[in-house]
Structure 1
Amino acid sequence: MKPLSQLSREDARSVRVVLTDIDDTITTEGTLTASAYAALEQLHRAGFLVVPVTGRPAGWCDHIARMWPVDAVVGENGAFYFRYDRKQKKMHQHFWASRQERAQNRARLDQIEKEVLATIPGTALASDQDYRVADLAIDFCEDVPALPETEIDRIVAVFERAGAQAKVSSIHVNGWFGDYDKLSMAKALLADVFNIDWETAKRSVVFAGDSPNDEPMFAAFPLSVGVANVHAFAHRLKNKPAYITEGHSGDGFAELARILLEARDQQAQAANA
């Protein structure tokens, strides 16, 4: 992982789309700081496409798509994308699985929930579980005392024995049934909504994240950035981000935004010279 300061001006100027995780990438210790939110707004106003790609639930993502300065949001680790058309005042929703498939998968996830909570002391349902439509989120440190990594691995194992996918974020283990992840739905969104094909995306998209559930994105995008706290999960990552910020969490995201905005400003000044 190279320091973000080594990102070339040419590469920074090529960025048109900012995809970003939320928890511990935009937020800091569970709080959305003014500086991180301002960075989002500044990027959006400057003309970047800004899309959070998160493990957070559908209920939160509806709010984010409506209220935040973003162009869309991918939620529940790729289960869907939401895009709010402010002119038409209409929410566009796209799900990976049908309503019937989601209902069938929920019954299977309910069995996993019972096993995890009964056999792994200290675990709890994520407090945002009621707002989820496609996955099961087990809390290991957000609203419960932090569990050791051995217990996190046990949670993952329960999901995998049942045939589910499981990804570790900075706060939850998220599990689901379905052949998707953050990357597959982000690619669908870019193509379906913004007409950005994959070859173009590899040259024009930057992704920022911090934890193992971001690994598909780190692996796919040449311009991938980890905020400094990704170091805590580096041993779990086969595919690490190409660059790393000096700042942790929201400060790191703001650092990335400054570099992109400065490059955009310099490009505009050169064009007007």
Structure 2
Amino acid sequence: MKPLSQMSLEMARSIRVVLTDIDDTITTEGMLTAAAYGALERLHRAGFLVIPVTGRPAGWCDHIARMWPVDAVVGENGAFYFRYDRERKTMQQRFWAGPEELKRNRAKLDVIETEVLASVPGAALASDQAYRMADLAIDFCEDVPALPEAEVDRIVSIFERAGAQAKVSSIHVNGWFGDYNKLSMAKTLLADGFGMDWEEAKNAVVYAGDSPNDEPMFAAFPLSVGVANIQTFAHRLTSKPAYLANGHSGEGFVELADLLLRARSA
């Protein structure tokens, strides 16, 4: 990972789309700071497409798509995208799975939930689980005392034994049934919503993240950035971001935004 300061202005000037994780990438210790939110707004006003790609739930993503200065949002690690048309006051939604498949998957996730909570002391349902449509989120440090890494791996293994996918974020283990992830739905959104094919996207997108569930994005996009706290998870990453911000969490995101805006103005 090269320092973000080494990204050339020419390279930064080629970026038109900012895809970004939310937790511990835009937020800092669970808070959305004025500086980080302001960075989103400055990017949006400057004409960048700004799209959070998050593990957070459908209920939160409806709010984000409507009320944040963003062009769309991918949620629940790729289960869907929401795009709000402010002129028509309509929400476009696309889910990876249909209603009946979501219902069947929920029944299987309920079984996993019971096993995880019975087998891993200290683990808990994520506080936002009630607002989720496609996945199961297990909290290992957001609202509970931090679990040892071995226990986090144990949660992952319970999901995987049941045939589910499982990804570790900075706060949750998210598990789901379905052949999708952040990358697959981000590609779908860019094509559906913005007419951007994959070859074009690879040269016009930067992705910012902080944890293992961002790894498909780091692997796919040549211009990818980790905020400084990603170093906590470096040993869990096969594919690391190309660049590393100096700042942690939201400060690192502001650092990236400042670079992109400086390159565009130059």
| TM-score above 0.5, yes or no | yes
In the alignment, which residue of structure 2 is the partner of 1:227? Answer: 227
Deviation, structure 1 residue 10:
1.2
In the alignment, which residue of structure 2 is the partner of 1:48? Answer: 48
| CA displacement, residues 175-219 of structure 1 (integer Å, 9 cap, x when unaligned) | 000000000000000001100110111100000000000000000
Deviation, structure 1 residue 245:
0.2
In the alignment, which residue of structure 1 is the partner of 2:17? Answer: 17
Query: What is the distance in 2 between the residues matched to 1:28 and 1:202?
Result: 28
In the alignment, which residue of structure 2 is the partner of 1:75? Answer: 75
1:87 partner amino acid: E
Deviation, structure 1 residue 75:
0.0
In the alignment, which residue of structure 1 is the partner of 2:241? Answer: 241
In the alignment, which residue of structure 2 is the partner of 1:251? Answer: 251
In the alignment, which residue of structure 2 is the partner of 1:270? Answer: none
In the alignment, which residue of structure 2 is the partner of 1:216? Answer: 216
What's the TM-score once normalised by structure 1's chain length?
Answer: 0.97
Instruction: Kindly report the root-mean-square deviation, in angstroms, between the aligned alpha carbons of the 2 structures.
Output: 0.3
1:96 partner amino acid: W
Query: What is the distance in 2 between the residues matched to 1:232 and 1:145?
Result: 17
**Matched residues, number:** 266
Secondary structure, in 3 states, of the residue corresponding to 1:179? coil
Q: How does 1:68-217 map to 2 (within 5 A)?
A: 68-217=68-217
2:36 partner amino acid: A
Percent identity at matched positions? Answer: 79
Query: What is the distance in 1 between the residues matched to 2:76 and 2:28?
Result: 20
Query: What is the distance in 2 between the residues matched to 1:226 and 1:102?
Result: 32
Deviation, structure 1 residue 96:
0.2
1:44 partner amino acid: H
Query: What is the distance in 1 between the residues matched to 2:220 and 2:74?
Result: 16
Query: What is the distance in 2 between the residues matched to 1:65 and 1:99?
Result: 21
2:183 partner amino acid: L
In the alignment, which residue of structure 1 is the partner of 2:27? Answer: 27
In the alignment, which residue of structure 2 is the partner of 1:269? Answer: none
Unaligned runs of 5+ residues in structure 2 are none
Query: What is the distance in 1 between the residues matched to 2:73 and 2:9?
Result: 28
Segments of 4+ moved more than 6 angstroms: none
